[in-house]
Amino acid sequence: MYTDSGSANGEARPDNVRRTSGIRAWLDARRANLRALWHTSAFQLPTRLWLGWVIVLLLFQSAAWMRLDVVGPDTAYGWTDQHSVDTPKTGIGLSHVRWDSYHYLRLARLGYHDTQDAAYYPAYPVLMRIAALGIVRPLLPHTVEIDQYAIGGLIISIVASLAATWALFRLFSDLLGDELDALRATFYLLIFPTALFLTQVYTESLYLALATPALIFMIRRQWWAAGLLATLATITRATGVLIVGAMALDWWLDRRRGERPPWHTLVPMLLPVLAWQVHTLLLADVGLNMHIAQRNYGRVLFDPDNVQIILDDIGYMLTHAMGAVHISLDIALTALAAWACWRVRREWPDLALYGAASLAVPLATGQLVSMNRYALIMLPTYLVLARYGRSPLFDKLWTLVSVLLLALYLVGFAHGYWTG
């Protein structure tokens, strides 16, 4: 008979008592692990960095709205003047709703009904709805419904930005092998010119919070975890499916080195593709087509006219003052990300492939529009910059340039100007 040595009379304890004791011991061990993690620099450094960053960004955006009266129209592109003359909505959440945010707001409230909304993916609006109905509405029952959903989106973005900061610091630490370099790389991402989107009703924060851990698990060859997280990233933004290419490259390189990963580890790489296909079928079930929606935005892959569209944008840049600033920044930030992918191609070919593909796909649609925002998620950029940042002079100069451009974008976004 099995007896519990802790029993005073040596009698066996009932199974439910032993089970309860085991659960309590497991919970105690988890609490002890969390307390130990809290005191590590791997947790403290990124958390404190994030906290200071999010407070500064939110306060600056509010100050930019209250202090400045920016009068439109915005002529960054030929079509932006049509949408930038309306007074931006204000409110706790609605002050962070601009441009693409309205699509996520409508999806969170109403689901997929509008043709244009088919170009956007469901994970973020689903979480917005959960946050709005489960958190915001009980706490702020008298707030206008649309602002409740906007606040829900802001909550998701801010919380996801913290998760993304932790994951980015961990990834950069693993790759650079030094916490100071990792902190610098994380800091450079948080002050990247288009990092403002991490605290808006946009998908950037959630995407990074899912895609970055997927890349961590990929590098550690934990294929199933990487595949599942890449799947969630795919239903957040289309670029999530491109992680499959990086995973497949690592798998193939392992086989070339003679490590021979099991064939069944290819299965998780199919999950993001399957998720994308299921999403497409569900849209078709309600009479919507993702490809038609993308075409309505002028995004058609490998169309021969795409080259002319880009040339027209460059021509517009040369003849309009606002376009000269905005489009040149679109090009410069894209070029920076492409150069970084090239620089790391031998050391981290998987990240280089993922980054290059994430740039090439939108460019193949003939659009420079939003390329500055897409450049934000190109992680090779921060790996390269972090190494250059070991030079105190470079560190200070890059920080100055990046923060000033971030402020420029934030002011424009607050007043309804096209930002990315």
pLDDT band at residue 1 using 50, 70 and 90 as cut-offs: very low
pLDDT at 16 over 70: no
- pLDDT for the residue 194: 97
**What pTM does this model have?**
0.90
As a whole number of angstroms, the distance between CA 155 and CA 132 comes to: 9
As a whole number of angstroms, the distance between CA 286 and CA 293 comes to: 14
Q: Sign of the CA dihedral 5, 7, 11, 12?
A: negative
- pLDDT for the residue 74: 87
- The string of pLDDT tens digits covering residues 73-89 is 888 888 888 766 566 77
pLDDT at 8 over 90: no
Tell me the average pLDDT across 23-40. Answer: 68
- pLDDT for the residue 48: 95
- Domain parsing of the chain, residue ranges: 44-82+93-414
pLDDT band at residue 372 using 50, 70 and 90 as cut-offs: very high
pLDDT-wise least confident of 69-73, 102-106, 244-248? 69-73
As a whole number of angstroms, the distance between CA 386 and CA 344 comes to: 13
- pLDDT for the residue 19: 60
DSSP string across 347-412: T-HHHHHHHHHHHHHHHTTT--TTHHHHGGG-THHHHHHHHHTTSHHHHHHHHHHHHHHHHHHHHH
